[in-house]
Structure 1
């Protein structure tokens, strides 16, 4: 018996909760990325390209936009 089985952390209910949380976060992360693109000072062509990438290949698009698409020197005003 493994540690996860003895503690009950490998139960099917826990796995389903984890999958449900990922499924709920998926559209939220996409919406945050799209809103960030729309509000950015990028050229319209760049905005369109990033939006298409995020919509067509979501997980890779989210990660690539957050890693390289955002301008690190951008200032945020509240």
Structure 2
């Protein structure tokens, strides 16, 4: 059971890092970037889901 929870934690960590990189590379204002990053850092699973649904999009997907 420990291996499964450790693997789940690594997956959440990887998804949160991906979300933070996408937030930083988005074209939104600095204040919004800080708020989104704090949300993802403070609430890793819920923050990621909220960002995935309503977060800022990266510059490459807006083109």
Q: TM-score range by the shorter chain?
A: 0.7 to 0.9
Aligned residues: 61
Which protein, 1 or 2, shows the higher relative CO under an 8 Å CA cutoff with sep ≥ 6? 2
SS of aligned partner of 2:10: helix
TM-score, length-scaled by structure 2: 0.80
User: Unpaired segments of 5 or more residues in structure 2?
Assistant: none
Runs of 4+ in 1 over 3 A off after TM superposition: none
User: Unpaired segments of 5 or more residues in structure 1?
Assistant: 1-14
Would you tell me which structure has more helix in proportion to its own residues? 2
Aligned counterpart for 2:16 among listed residues 18, 22, 30: 30
TM-score, length-scaled by structure 1: 0.66
Query: Which structure has the bigger radius of gyration?
Result: 1
RMSD: 1.9
